[in-house]
């Protein structure tokens, strides 16, 4: 049967207290004794029973999540994922605190980070705005020794322990491949609709998409990037104007949120003139648009996965444990109308 600390003690010929000191890196053990214990651990294949350990420790991990108070479906999904994480927080021994900040507001975000530090949580996760103020605040967090994880959108510069989000360049390339191939060699104008070039995820998607389009589908003519602030109203207006200005739009890549406005604008386009549309995030809106054919493909990041990954990483970092990068990679889901969950 599964070896216990008692078995380790017996096998190493030391007392339980010494085994405990070694396992929990407490001081007061000579190097030779430490090695004896380590040898016994590996020889018997001892694995600490996490359940029992948590039970004994009674430890809880107070975690702070800083989320933009942006009212779009994706952020609501993220909130929902956090609520679920809260619901199971008892079992996970986490105490999750949610902090709202205005969207795309570097100063407010930096202040929120500084305030979060004051509570001395076991870790902080936040949706980054890629700006100097935020970077400086992040560095203060890290300087306090508090594990810091960026969520959904990353921060340039190394002032964070981990990024829990998708590879946005890959997402942009994938969108280009799908759009290009769905066009089937057709020539025409392709529009890119972003939320804000201030956030790194949008910038990366946009750059990778443009790059891949130019390289692989030269027949498509890329229009200048549109910024919709992830707001449905703004988006509807921008896209409406787009179709008014250009008669030959054959493709749209919507890489941010606010797709409710996009769909409303698309509904006004004659069926035979509808462009190929690739959007991000599977929501009620994009799901319905996929099914009705207004949107052709949706790239999605699973907010639940991102939140759970962030929590796992923060807990691991708080305990000084290594993170298995491969296990924490967030996948890019591709949805067509045929494989909707």
Partner DNA sequence: CAAATTCTGATTTACGTACCTCAAGAACTG
Partner DNA sequence: CAGTTCTTGAGGTACGTAAATCAGAATTTG
Q: Applying CB under 7 A, which residues contact DNA?
A: 1-2, 4-6, 13-18, 20-21, 23-24, 27-30, 32-34, 46-49, 52-53, 55-59
136 C-beta neighbours (distance < 10 Å), count: 14
Of 58 and 185, which has the nearer Cβ to DNA?
58
Residue 291 C-beta-side C-alpha neighbours within 13 Å: 8
Of 34 and 337, which has the nearer Cβ to a copy of itself?
337
54 binds a copy of itself (CB under 8 A): yes
The answer to whether the Cα torsion of 227, 231, 234, 239 is positive or negative is positive
Burial class (CB within 10 angstroms; exposed 0-12, middle 13-18, buried 19+) of 99? middle
Determine the Cα–Cα distance for residues 1 and 44; give it in Å rounded to an integer: 10
What is the separation of C-alpha 265 from the centre of its chain, rounded to a whole number of angstroms?
29
Considering only residues 287 to 306 of the shown chain, the ones binding a copy of itself according to CB under 8 A are: 296
339 binds a copy of itself (CB under 8 A): yes
Is residue 279 a contact partner of residue 259, using CB atoms and an 8 Å limit?
yes
32 binds a copy of itself (CB under 8 A): no
Determine the Cα–Cα distance for residues 37 and 48; give it in Å rounded to an integer: 14
Considering only residues 231 to 250 of the shown chain, the ones binding a copy of itself according to CB under 8 A are: none
51 binds a copy of itself (CB under 8 A): yes
Is residue 313 a contact partner of residue 149, using CB atoms and an 8 Å limit?
yes
Interface with a copy of itself (CB under 8 A), residue from 181, 215, 219, 273: 181
The answer to whether the Cα torsion of 182, 188, 190, 191 is positive or negative is negative
The binder of 118, among a copy of itself, DNA, none, by C-beta within 5 to 8 A per type, is none
The binder of 21, among DNA, a copy of itself, none, by C-beta within 5 to 8 A per type, is DNA
184 binds a copy of itself (CB under 8 A): yes
Considering only residues 311 to 330 of the shown chain, the ones binding a copy of itself according to CB under 8 A are: 329
Q: Which residues bind a copy of itself (CB under 8 A)?
A: 2, 47, 49-52, 54-55, 90-91, 167, 170-171, 173-174, 176-178, 181-185, 212, 296, 329, 331-334, 336-339, 341
């Amino acid at each position: 049967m599964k070896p216990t600390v008692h078995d380790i003690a017996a096998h190493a010929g030391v007392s339980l207290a010494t085994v405990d000191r070694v396992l929990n890196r407490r001081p007061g053990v000579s190097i030779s004794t430490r090695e004896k214990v380590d040898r016994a651990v590996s020889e018997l294949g001892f694995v600490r029973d996490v359940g029992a350990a948590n039970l004994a420790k009674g430890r809880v991990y107070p975690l702070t999540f800083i989320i933009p108070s942006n009212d779009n479906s994706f952020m609501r999904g993220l909130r929902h994922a956090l609520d679920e994480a809260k619901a199971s927080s008892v079992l996970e021994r986490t105490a999750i605190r949610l902090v709202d900040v205005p969207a795309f507001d570097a100063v407010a975000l930096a202040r929120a980070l500084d305030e979060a530090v004051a509570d001395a949580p076991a870790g902080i996760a936040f949706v980054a705005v890629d700006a100097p103020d935020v970077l400086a605040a992040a560095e203060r967090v890290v300087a306090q020794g508090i594990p810091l994880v960026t969520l959904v959108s990353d921060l340039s510069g190394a002032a964070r322990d981990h990024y829990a989000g998708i590879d946005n360049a890959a997402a942009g390339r994938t969108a280009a491949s799908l759009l290009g191939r769905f066009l089937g060699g057709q020539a025409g104008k392709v529009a890119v609709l972003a939320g804000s070039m201030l956030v790194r995820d949008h910038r990366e998607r946009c750059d990778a998409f443009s790059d891949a389009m130019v390289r692989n589908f030269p027949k498509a003519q890329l229009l200048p990037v549109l910024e919709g602030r992830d707001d449905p109203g703004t988006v509807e207006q921008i896209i409406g104007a787009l179709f008014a200005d250009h008669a030959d739009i054959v493709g749209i890549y919507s890489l941010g949120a606010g797709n409710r406005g996009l769909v409303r604008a698309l509904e006004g386009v004659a069926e035979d003139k509808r462009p190929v549309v690739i959007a991000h995030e599977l929501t009620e809106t994009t799901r319905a648009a996929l099914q009705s054919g207004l949107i052709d493909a949706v790239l999605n990041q699973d907010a639940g996965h991102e939140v759970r990954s962030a929590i796992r990483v923060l807990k691991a970092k708080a305990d000084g444990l290594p993170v298995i990068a491969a296990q924490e990679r967030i996948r890019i889901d591709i949805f067509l109308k045929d494989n909707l969950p």
